[in-house]
């Protein structure tokens, strides 16, 4: 599956701050605010940006909550090992999440399964989040770039004061004042989301997060419970540097996908391998014309075509999660 390019989807993600935003730098400051936003050098100048790793983490975390809400015990908690000493937290986890996929595969490998050569088995037995974002045993399908300023001249930062609260008096704690430097509201960032060899429901997973970001239900960075991190996102942006707005799907030129259909990985493989399904297809009321670009044949979804694609893909995501098979239990490895 990883040795071929079967299908791809790509879209820009325009993120606009609708409130103060702070993704903290990991470096201590000698002077000035105690907490400052992460910075990068771009085109010879220093500017604020949103790290792709942070965006990908937010996408995965939000999707894990969505999947667990749709159907408990389908998605794994990547930080939970099955042999952890049980506590109230572990019992709660068992009701909602599975142990880490990476941990489960590690146990199977120690029992003699040759998983290094059977990537189809690893993909098939991974939870929905690990299939899309990857685990310690399998590379993910999606890449999210750093989000850079759309217009550097509109970069605005402001300082805010914070103070610790005395738990006895409910007032300000003496000596607990601190300062924040945050990105002001109205600043635009743009990232690139690239999905390769995807199943239709995986595209729907990403659209579900984008929809929640468009509805301002997802916050980024630090201090989210204190009013920071409110953003709004959309996939329909202005064309920049020859890259179109909306969602672009592509296949290798000469492939047989009809213009009124979008094929997912299962349809391209068409053999039930990797735990995929041959009926992994979306049908559209009107054909979406293609154009050739290099070795690829691309289609661009905008306006009503994009809304139809998003709606159908999200429906496929919900249906697939509701019918997701339960994984086999993996017994702990006992040592003498």
Residue-wise pLDDT tens digits, 287-328: 999 999 999 999 999 999 999 999 999 999 999 999 998 766
**Four-point Cα dihedral 68, 71, 74, 78, nearest 10:** 0
Domain of residue 295 covers 8-322
Burial environment of residue 162 by CB neighbours within 10 A (0 to 12, 13 to 18, 19 or more): middle
Q: How far apart are CA 224 and CA 239, in angstroms?
A: 31
Contact criterion met (CB below 8 Å) for 20 and 157: no
* Mean pLDDT calculated for residue range 4-18: 94
The answer to the question of residue 2 being in a domain is no
**Would you say residue 14 lies in a domain?**
yes
Paired with 135 in beta bridges are 138
336 falls within a domain: no
Distance, in Å, from the CA atom of 256 to the CA atom of 259, rounded to the nearest integer, reads 9
More confident residue, 225 or 92: 225
Per-residue pLDDT band for 182 (boundaries 50, 70, 90) equals confident
pLDDT of residue 172: 58
Average pLDDT over residues 83-96: 60
151-161 pLDDT, tens digit each: 888 888 887 66
Q: Is residue 335 part of a domain?
A: no
Domain presence at residue 334: no
pLDDT value at position 228? 87
Residue 1 covered by a domain? no
Could you tell me the two tokens for 29? Answer: 């400051």
Q: What is the pLDDT of residue 243?
A: 63
Highest mean pLDDT: which range of 172-176, 237-241, 315-319: 315-319
Predicted pLDDT of residue 64: 95
Q: Give the Cα separation of 214 and 62 in Å (integer).
A: 14
Count of the separate structural domains present in the chain: 1
329 occurs within a structural domain: no
pTM of the model: 0.87
Beta strands in the chain (DSSP E): 8-17, 39-42, 45-48, 134-135, 138-139, 142-144, 148-149, 157-165, 172-183, 188-196, 231-234, 247-252, 261-263, 281-283, 291-293, 296-301
Is the Cβ–Cβ distance between 139 and 126 less than 8 Å?
Answer: no
241 lies in some domain: yes
């Amino acid at each position: 599956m990883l040795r071929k390019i079967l299908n791809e989807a790509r879209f820009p993600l325009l993120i606009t701050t609708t409130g103060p935003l702070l993704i903290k730098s990991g470096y201590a400051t000698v002077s000035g605010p105690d907490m400052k936003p992460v910075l990068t050098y771009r085109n010879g100048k220093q500017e604020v940006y949103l790290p792709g790793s942070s965006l990908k983490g937010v996408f995965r975390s939000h999707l894990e909550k969505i999947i667990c809400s749709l159907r408990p015990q389908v998605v794994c908690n990547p930080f939970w090992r099955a042999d952890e000493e049980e506590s109230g937290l572990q019992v709660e986890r068992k009701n909602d999440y599975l142990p880490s996929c990476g941990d489960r595969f590690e146990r199977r490998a120690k029992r003699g399964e040759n998983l290094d050569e059977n990537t189809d088995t690893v993909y098939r037995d991974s939870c929905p989040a690990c299939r899309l974002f990857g685990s310690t045993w399998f590379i993910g399908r999606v890449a999210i770039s750093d989000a850079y300023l759309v217009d550097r001249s509109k970069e605005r930062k402001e300082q805010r004061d914070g103070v610790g609260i005395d738990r006895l008096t409910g007032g300000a704690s003496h000596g607990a004042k601190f300062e924040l430097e945050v990105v002001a509201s109205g600043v635009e960032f743009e990232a690139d989301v690239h999905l390769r060899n995807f199943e239709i429901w995986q595209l729907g997973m990403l659209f579900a997060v984008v929809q929640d970001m468009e509805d301002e239900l997802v916050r980024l960075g630090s201090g989210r419970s204190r009013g920071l991190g409110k953003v709004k996102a959309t996939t329909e942006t202005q064309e920049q540097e020859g890259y179109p707005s909306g969602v672009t799907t592509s296949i290798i030129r000469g492939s047989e996908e009809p213009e009124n259909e979008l094929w997912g990985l299962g349809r391209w493989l068409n053999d039930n391998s990797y735990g995929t399904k041959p009926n992994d297809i979306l049908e559209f009321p009107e054909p979406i014309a293609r154009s050739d670009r290099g070795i690829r044949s691309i289609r661009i979804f905008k306006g009503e075509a994009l809304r139809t694609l998003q709606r159908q893909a999200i429906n496929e995501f919900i249906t697939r999660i509701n019918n997701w098979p339960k994984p086999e239990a993996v017994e702990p490895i006992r040592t003498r």
